[in-house]
């Protein structure tokens, strides 16, 4: 994490993950040089945070397209006028939020999302922070024995149990209030290495998550769950994390292959409205 930048400043917010970036104004325009430094910072820190961005949905989309092809989320309510943008909304009367468990986005796709660009339109007075955890740090801290076993393994991921019809049996449909839907599209299943070679950095990263990983390939669910539970607990320990406090106009750009995130649900009675664009990634190979 020691790149030199010429057009921006990056201040790390924790030892393992995350940096606040200054000197970038998306609405005013970003040069190719500055964009390539932003990408370098994204690779260096796993998640980067920008403050005081005053952008329209069109500018959000234009900025996102510089990172890659937009991968439209199938299940979140889209912004009515801009279907490329997913709404992450919680109204004052709603109890549940979206994303209140450690996860990474879209791992149920065989070609999972590279990253997500989340922009704060309305934030509560206090609370509603997002936590990030480094999957590089989680991987590095495993014992040699555990790493050796996991390096030969793959895991199955799915959208069915989270966004499919069956998932709604356990949800308060009134409270969901149209924020999630399209249950018929929840048919994705994917298999990924448990420890991936990160396509940008070349580093080894742990790639299982509590929302979408179902089991290890060739193992039963009952056999898989205890080890998965250990890995989730291991991956979310405080030492690997950072916490971002949002303001209106803040933006987080995170790497879904290098981090997990967790949206705090501690602002009952207040509105929080975020716009999220997800960027297409590539198939993931195993570390060796
Ligand atoms: C998400 O899980 O993508 C949403 C994160 C957040 O709202 O902070």
Q: What local confidence, expressed as pLDDT, does residue 115 receive? A: 97
Question: Is a pLDDT exceeding 90 seen at residue 57?
Answer: yes
Q: What is the mean pLDDT of residues 221-249?
A: 98
Among 76, 116, 117, 118, residue to substitute to test ligand 1 (most atoms within 8 Å of Cβ): 118
Q: Residue 37's pLDDT band (boundaries 50, 70, 90)?
A: very high
> Cα(105)–Cα(17) distance, rounded to whole angstroms?
17
Distance 103 CA to ligand 1 centre (A): 10
Domains of the chain: 9-280 (3.60.130.10)
Q: What local confidence, expressed as pLDDT, does residue 184 receive? A: 82
Question: How many other CB atoms are there within 10 angstroms of residue 225's CB atom?
Answer: 14
CA distances from 271 to 7, 129, 187, 198 (A): 35, 13, 31, 36
Of all protein residues, the one whose alpha carbon is nearest to atom 6 of ligand 1 is: 263
Q: What is the mean pLDDT of residues 91-100?
A: 92
3-class secondary-structure state, position 202: coil
Q: What is the mean pLDDT of residues 256-264?
A: 98
Question: How many other CB atoms are there within 10 angstroms of residue 113's CB atom?
Answer: 21
123 within ligand 1 shell (Cβ under 6 A): no
Q: What local confidence, expressed as pLDDT, does residue 75 receive? A: 84
Of all protein residues, the one whose alpha carbon is nearest to atom 3 of ligand 1 is: 99
99 within ligand 1 shell (Cβ under 6 A): yes
What confidence tens digit (pLDDT) does each residue in 10-25 have? 999 999 999 999 999 9
Q: Residue 161's pLDDT band (boundaries 50, 70, 90)?
A: confident
Distance 105 CA to ligand 1 centre (A): 9
276 within ligand 1 shell (Cβ under 6 A): yes
Question: Is a pLDDT exceeding 80 seen at residue 175?
Answer: no
Of all protein residues, the one whose alpha carbon is nearest to atom 7 of ligand 1 is: 263
Predicted TM-score (pTM) of the model is 0.95
CA nearest neighbour of 190 among 124, 122, 282, 58: 282
Question: Is a pLDDT exceeding 90 seen at residue 6?
Answer: yes
Question: Is a pLDDT exceeding 80 seen at residue 187?
Answer: yes
Based on the residue annotation, tell me whether 105 is a catalytic residue of this protein.
yes
Q: Which of residues 170 and 114 earns the better pLDDT score?
A: 114
Based on the residue annotation, tell me whether 192 is a catalytic residue of this protein.
no
Distance 56 CA to ligand 1 centre (A): 20
Q: Which of residues 206 and 73 earns the better pLDDT score?
A: 206
Q: What local confidence, expressed as pLDDT, does residue 2 receive? A: 67
Q: What local confidence, expressed as pLDDT, does residue 11 receive? A: 97
Q: Residue 250's pLDDT band (boundaries 50, 70, 90)?
A: very high
Question: Average pLDDT, whole number, for the chain?
Answer: 94
Based on the residue annotation, tell me whether 44 is a catalytic residue of this protein.
no
What confidence tens digit (pLDDT) does each residue in 60-83 have? 999 999 999 999 888 888 999 999
**32: enclosing H helix or E strand:** helix 32-45
Q: Residue 1's pLDDT band (boundaries 50, 70, 90)?
A: low
Q: Residue 165's pLDDT band (boundaries 50, 70, 90)?
A: confident
């Amino acid at each position: 994490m020691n790149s030199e930048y010429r057009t921006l400043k990056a201040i790390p917010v924790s030892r393992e993950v995350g940096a606040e970036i200054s000197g970038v104004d998306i609405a005013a325009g970003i040069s190719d040089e500055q964009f390539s430094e932003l990408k370098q910072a994204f690779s260096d820190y796993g998640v980067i945070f920008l403050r005081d961005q005053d952008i329209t949905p069109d500018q959000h989309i234009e900025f996102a397209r510089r990172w890659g092809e937009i991968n439209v989320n199938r299940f979140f309510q889209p912004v009515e006028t801009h279907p490329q943008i997913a709404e992450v909304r919680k109204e004052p009367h709603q109890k549940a939020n979206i994303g209140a468990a450690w996860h990474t986005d879209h791992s149920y796709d065989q070609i999972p999302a590279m990253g997500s660009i989340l922009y704060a339109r309305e934030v509560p007075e206090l609370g509603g922070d997002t936590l990030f955890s480094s999957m590089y740090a989680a991987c590095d801290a495993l014992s040699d024995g555990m790493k050796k076993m996991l390096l030969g393994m793959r895991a199955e991921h799915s959208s069915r149990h989270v966004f499919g019809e069956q998932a709604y049996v356990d949800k308060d449909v009134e409270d969901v209030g149209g924020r999630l839907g399209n249950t018929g599209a929840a048919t994705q299943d994917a298999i990924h290495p448990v420890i991936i070679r990160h396509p940008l950095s070349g580093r080894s990263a742990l790639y299982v998550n509590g929302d979408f990983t179902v089991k290890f390939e060739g193992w039963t669910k009952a056999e898989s769950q205890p080890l998965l539970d250990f890995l989730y607990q291991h991956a979310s320990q405080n030492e690997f994390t950072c916490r971002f406090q949002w303001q209106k106009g803040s933006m987080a750009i995170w790497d879904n292959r290098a981090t997990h995130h967790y949206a705090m649900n501690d602002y009952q009675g207040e509105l929080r409205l975020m716009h999220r664009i997800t960027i297409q990634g590539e198939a993931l190979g195993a570390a060796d």
